[in-house]
A = this chain, B = another copy of it.
């Protein structure tokens, strides 16, 4: 996909946060979206992105001199922004996002507020692009879209499950997480709380992982999504790792495919091939054959081409003793499970013609 002469104008909400900075990293030089506005709080207003930069990765030169602005939905819409990427904290995000959509601005959000709204697609393009179509097509163009990406643990989980879901016809899915520090934001976990420690609790996380996974793996029924009824039994814990959520997954299966069939399904999984989405990794899953992978420090940046680094989900340690399929999956919580997920959602929506003033709705 070459750079369009008429890129869509986008803004980032919550630009000073961890997810906000990953949005900036991905959108600083994007072929489809032109980053024109960084929205921050009163406290940060007027500061340049480069002054606030906290990531180990470089601040993109094209965005580093942009200054944060503390502006509301009306002003954002007035500035001709086509779409926003929301890295706002859950709780405050919902109202702002609704207001933006009401004013005709499309919203791609990483916040949880709208995820279970039946009219909002909860989207991972490799997993449930049909949900986007079902909920968006023909809905009338007056107001903007709201499209949510899932919880950072659910994102990697559903990508890992999707290719083997129908082969296994699960009776239950058991998930236990080893979640990274950055999942709680820049200041979310105090160092004394986690050094030489594991914390077996993340507020509301287990409920989100279960409900959101069931929704994304659900089926389309007319213009609605019917969640999967497969129980997700979830344990969530925080470990002292900077980035990359690791998950121990057990599927209790109704069917008995061969191990080879499972591995082929993962290796060949690339449903977005040929769509030209710049942030889509090809293939979507990195199947590891080593005895001790995936590992956060080595696999969190999996994904090619370069723009899709951190977007692939790594799967490894596959052990299939029917009826239990066990494996580990790893994904970068702030990329696949955060900013990158929403950018990919917007790319898919743009490709399908759902975005902007001339959208096909």
Contacts and interface: CB of A to CB of B under 8 A. Distances in A.
B56 A200 contact: no
A190 B192 contact: no
Given A189-B192, A197-B296, A237 B242 contact: no
A235 B198 contact: no
A174 B250 contact: yes
How many copies the complex holds: the figure is: 4
B239 A178 contact: yes
A196 interface: yes
A246 B200 contact: yes
A356 to B, nearest CB: 35
A56 B298 CA distance: 5
Contact of A190 (B191, B198, B250): B191
A291 B236 CA distance: 12
Nearest to A329: B200
Interface string A175-212: 01010011000111111111111111100000000000
A153 to B, nearest CB: 13
A190 to B, nearest CB: 5
A74 interface: no
A328 interface: yes
B201 A317 contact: yes
A241 B239 CA distance: 9
A308 B324 CA distance: 38
B242 A196 contact: yes
Given A192-B182, A235-B176, A200 B248 contact: yes
A353 interface: no
A191 B292 contact: no
User: Which of A196, A235, A241, A293 counts the most chain B CB atoms within 10 A?
Assistant: A196
A235 B201 contact: no
A297 interface: yes
A178 B239 CA distance: 9
Contacts of A276: none
Interface string A285-310: 00000011111111001000000000
A281 interface: no
A48 interface: no
A187 to B, nearest CB: 5
Contacts of A316: 200
Contacts of A54: 192
8 contacts: A178-B239, A181-B192, A181-B195, A189-B192, A190-B190, A197-B241, A198-B296, A239-B239
Give 4 nearest A-B pairs by CB, closest first. A235-B248, A176-B176, A201-B292, A197-B297
Given A181-B192, A195-B241, A237-B248, 9 more contacts: A56-B297, A56-B298, A174-B233, A182-B192, A195-B297, A196-B196, A197-B295, A233-B324, A235-B248
